Structure 1
Amino acid sequence: MDLELGGKSVVICGGARGIGRACAEAFVREGARVAIFDWNADLLAEARQAMGHDILAVQVDVSDAASVDAAHAQAIETFGAIDVGFNNAGINSPPRAIEDTSEEDWDRVINVNLKGIWLCTRAQVRHMRPRNRGSIINTTSNVAFTGAPGFAAYVAAKHGIVGITRTVALELAKTEVRINAIAPGTVRTSLGGEMRKFVDPFADALIRKGLPIGRFGEPSEVADAVLWLASPRSSFALGSTLVIDGGFTAQ
């Protein structure tokens, strides 16, 4: 199926590894022009070299408005426009009960995972609304519809992303700019591996028991969903959240 993404200009926030990297590679295969934003300069350089030097790679702090706006301006200057924004930047902190969670950890996760999504969405809407076209996809999580003991800040941010996506969708409903979200379950990425290094006070929680499908997801499987939402093939999807979690939220 032709997704009609050839020649489109795509910005991926949090694009140097994991789901973001897989999506960048998939967009490149479809013939899109891709900019990847990330805070990690080394991973950015590695991704750019692996995918080809025509990739625009920009070091960005998604929790800082000036950094986000400058990166989007650079993408617009380079490509002439932004057709697709995929907002995927996210971090986590070690699993801790609410009474043991520090304000510093809370602020760090919320600033990247929630404020960062808001800032990137805002920058993209400011560009796309006057052009009256574009597609925005935000990464939330299946825990936006459940709880995850030990990860209060992460879960709060992911719930918030669903709210941002739905609200902006209504603001854009009479335009040709669409915004949707994806909600992956556990995916085989380095972020998930990092979390498994810590002592988990809630190791017996249902969400730690695995997925009904019997395996973790692969970043490429999430990328397929992102490309569909980015394409004209999903033209009637607005304000939706596509859950891709191996059956976990079906329980």
Structure 2
Amino acid sequence: MATKTEVPGIAIITGAASGMGRATALAFAVAGATGFALLDLNEAGLAETKTLVSKAHPSARVETYKCDVTQESSVISAYTSAKEAFSRIDYAVHCAGIVTFQGPSADCTLEAFDHQNNVNYRGLWLCAREALRNMRTQSLDTEAYPDADIPPHRAQRGSIVNISSGLALHSQSGIPAYCGAKAGVTAITRSDALDYATQRVRVNSVLPGVVDSPMTNPSPEIRQWMYDNPVKKATPMRRFGLPEEIADVCVFLSGNKASFVTGACWSVDGGFCAGYSYE
């Protein structure tokens, strides 16, 4: 029997002030999530995302939390507050991330290396750890949402989606710290999936290709370089991905329709990781 909504529960989303994080929040709203904990350092962006989510799903409760994922206390505070506000967390999508072009390793400063890893790898792990701590002991969603008619074999206590990158599999020159951090995300995703499978918590990652978002394309000049190089030369579909295309996969992986999917790393990249196209 199909569920009445794709995701009948509470979603916590990091990096929700813009880009893929905002698109993911909106995708969850359209799919029927009833509660949202939106996290980011950018409070103005969070307020805008909250307005958009409320318009898309007027009856949903939306809470925002200023959160610095590089600080353990900030992450713990945000996740604890979200759990207190909603009593449970069903879906966690970790979108917070940065990319800086610091050059090859010999030219990369320790400060730049640490910053990339503190946000993209360590910061994501801090968030995933708090999500797991909350999810592993809560009731199954079949008990929490009896009206959703979730089949017993599809029941879960929670689902986590970590945003990695196609560069976790196929590196790009000039950004070794970013590539390494994203490879680390895929590794901890698989390890967490193994550790919590029997507790009915699923953990997966999404590996976007070149997405037209503020993080990837902060200026017209960088956007043009991205289009002329990784898009035209290495993406078989020859276009940027859109944030909502990533978000739709995150919602699918979060919900019960993906109930037998855990430890997976899903490429959403226009064919980038499939190989080079000569056309």
Classify 1:5/1:65 alpha carbon distance in 2 versus 1 (closer, same or farther; 3 Å).
Answer: farther
Name the residue aligned to 1:35: 37
Asked if the contact 1:181–1:242 (Cα under 8 Å) also holds between the matched residues in 2, the reply is: yes
Residue among 88, 98, 110 paired with 2:105? 98
Name the residue aligned to 2:27: 26
**CA–CA distance in 1 between the matches of 2:122 and 2:232?**
27
C-alpha deviations, 1:67-113, integer Å up to 9, x for none? 00110111111111100110111001124122221111111110000
Residue among 198, 210, 228 paired with 1:174? 198
How far 1:205 sits from its partner (Å)?
6.9
Greater alpha carbon shift after TM alignment, 164-173 vs 95-104:
95-104
Residue among 214, 236, 247 paired with 1:190? 214
Q: What is the one-letter code of the residue matched to 2:31?
A: E
Report the 3-state secondary structure (helix = DSSP H, G, I; strand = E; otherwise coil) of the residue aligned with 2:174.
coil
Report the 3-state secondary structure (helix = DSSP H, G, I; strand = E; otherwise coil) of the residue aligned with 2:13.
strand
C-alpha deviations, 1:139-174, integer Å up to 9, x for none? 000111011101111100100000000111111121
**CA–CA distance in 1 between the matches of 2:248 and 2:226?**
32
**CA–CA distance in 2 between the matches of 1:77 and 1:105?**
36
Q: What is the one-letter code of the residue matched to 1:29?
A: V
Classify 1:184/1:72 alpha carbon distance in 2 versus 1 (closer, same or farther; 3 Å).
Answer: same
**CA–CA distance in 2 between the matches of 1:140 and 1:19?**
12
In the alignment, does 2:137 pair up with 1:130? yes
Any residues of structure 2 matched to 1:37-186 within 5 Å, and which?
Answer: 37-52=39-54, 54-131=61-138, 133-186=157-210
Asked if the contact 2:160–2:204 (Cα under 8 Å) also holds between the matched residues in 1, the reply is: yes
Classify 1:36/1:3 alpha carbon distance in 2 versus 1 (closer, same or farther; 3 Å).
Answer: farther
**CA–CA distance in 1 between the matches of 2:4 and 2:209?**
25
**CA–CA distance in 1 between the matches of 2:98 and 2:232?**
18
Give TM-score scaled by structure 1 length: 0.92
Percent identical: 36
**CA–CA distance in 2 between the matches of 1:195 and 1:113?**
21
RMSD between superposed Cα atoms in Å: 2.4
Any residues of structure 2 matched to 1:202-213 within 5 Å, and which?
Answer: 209-213=233-237
Which consecutive unaligned segments of at least 5 residues does structure 2 have? 140-156
**CA–CA distance in 2 between the matches of 1:105 and 1:207?**
25
Q: What is the one-letter code of the residue matched to 1:111?
A: N
Report the 3-state secondary structure (helix = DSSP H, G, I; strand = E; otherwise coil) of the residue aligned with 1:191.
coil
Report the 3-state secondary structure (helix = DSSP H, G, I; strand = E; otherwise coil) of the residue aligned with 2:206.
strand
In the alignment, does 2:12 pair up with 1:14? no
Which consecutive unaligned segments of at least 5 residues does structure 1 have? none
Give TM-score scaled by structure 2 length: 0.83
Asked if the contact 1:187–1:219 (Cα under 8 Å) also holds between the matched residues in 2, the reply is: yes
Aligned length: 251
